[in-house]
Amino acid sequence: MRTQVAIIGSGPSGLLLGQLLTNAGIDNIIIDRASKDHILSRVRAGVLEEGMVGLLDRTGAGERMHREGLPHEGVSLAFDGRTKRIDLFGLTGKRVMVYGQTEVTRDLMDKREASGALSIFEAGDVVLHDFDGDQPHITYKKNGTTHRIDCALIAGCDGYHGVSRRSVPKAAIQTFEKVYPFGWLGILTDVPPISHELIYANHPRGFALCSMRSSTRSRYYIQCSLDECIDEWSDDRFYDELRRRLPAEQAEPLVCGPSFEKSIAPLRSFVAEPMRFGSLFLVGDAAHIVPPTGAKGLNLAASDVHYLFEGLQEFFGEKSRSGIDAYSERALKRVWKAERFSWSMTMMLHRFPDTDAFSRKVQEAELDYLVQSRAASTALAENYVGLPY
């Protein structure tokens, strides 16, 4: 088989890029090692920046998001027994859209199917060949046969554990990493959320987040230790802990429904530089990870796709390499700002096991300053709704 762009990974990055390319008449094939059902069973991000909303609209897959998604104009920070709302819209003129990553993925998969573009699922042993030159190719195994795809360029959209970044010689890549000493225990439940906007809570017992997927589906998280055993977390225990970490006025309306998804996610900051190696471009989680506190993971994948798509259009349309040559530098500038924001939100809102009294006082002062100063609230709001691209 031959295509212009071979895309490894059918997550949000691969699907977004694939659809933009298809709409622009640039041929592409998506290869994923997982099944379609498995990909659609993953519960991940929930908050979309306007940039991501705009990209989804450009693909033509945004219709359901506008119908079912919830535009939010503010978020609340809870600490010290009180709740303070950050007026995102008032401070920045921008909103965020609450719409789950699972639904984004489903909408993009449906659009791709309707466009007739090829996706190969359950592809084993995906290997990238000759991407240091101009004629790369990919091999994979399916149903006992090895297949080959020749292409002009490869987009590595295969997430943190994917094969693309690992295929790059160690000497050609530099990585930066910070691992946090706790995780997030999250549940999904079909009960109305306790508040119509998100609440991020800092409490002596640990961080908590009240989010949602719709007006009848809630997504709750609590900070937990990394060695926590999920089987020891009954729904009752989860809700008791969540309630204790919220101010009384928020805890009171909490409706406890049975969870239908419960999982623990570790928290990590990670960046690989550069994001381009010859004919291979890393996109989204394949190149960088943020702790989820700033709701930036999926949104960063979207800005990478934007920069790469612009470069690919120039490359295939105008036969110019300037866009793809600038990709890594342009993307990384935005990546590091989101890394900084996600790290600072994580440091400000969590309880660290080894925090001394001085650091705790500084954290309290930071929260107090943030909600009292319009300048500080604006800085948070500007980052939360997403820096421009």
Name the site residues for ligand FAD (rule: CB under 6 A): 8-14, 31-34, 39, 44-46, 101, 123, 126, 157-159, 161-163, 265, 284-285, 292, 295-298, 301
Residue with token string 């009384």: 248
Four-residue CA torsion sign, 309, 312, 318, 324: positive
Alpha helices in 158-209 (DSSP H): 164-167
284 binds, among ligand DHB, ligand FAD, none (CB under 5 to 8 A by kind): ligand FAD
Q: How many CA atoms lie within 13 A of 341 on its CB side?
A: 23
223 binds, among ligand DHB, ligand FAD, none (CB under 5 to 8 A by kind): none
| In 32-163, beta strands by DSSP E | 47-48, 70-72, 75-79, 82-86, 96-98, 118-120, 124-129, 137-142, 145-150, 153-156
Question: Which region, judged by CB under 6 A, interacts with ligand DHB, from 31-39, 41-49, 60-68, 350-358?
Answer: 41-49
d(CA 166, CA 188): 33
191 binds, among ligand DHB, ligand FAD, none (CB under 5 to 8 A by kind): none
Q: Shortest approach of ligand DHB to residue 211 CB, angstroms?
A: 3
Backbone angles phi, psi at 88, to 5 degrees: -55, -45
Closer Cβ to ligand DHB, 46 or 159, answer by number: 46
The dihedral over CA atoms of 56, 99, 198, 204, expressed in degrees to the nearest 10, equals: -100
List the one residue out of 356, 325, 340, 357 whose CA is nearest residue 290: 340
197 binds, among ligand FAD, ligand DHB, none (CB under 5 to 8 A by kind): none
The verdict on 289 binding ligand DHB (CB under 6 A) reads: no
d(CA 389, CA 275): 17
Closer Cβ to ligand DHB, 6 or 88, answer by number: 88
Question: Which region, judged by CB under 6 A, interacts with ligand DHB, from 21-29, 241-249, 289-297, 311-319?
Answer: 289-297
Question: Which region, judged by CB under 6 A, interacts with ligand DHB, from 44-52, 163-171, 225-233, 304-312?
Answer: 44-52
List the one residue out of 197, 210, 211, 295 whose CA is nearest residue 246: 210
69 binds, among ligand DHB, ligand FAD, none (CB under 5 to 8 A by kind): none
d(CA 237, CA 371): 31
Catalytic site includes residue 389: no
Residues 67-96: x/- map of binding to ligand DHB (CB under 6 A)?
------------------------------
Could you list the active site residues?
A: 72, 200, 292, 296, 384
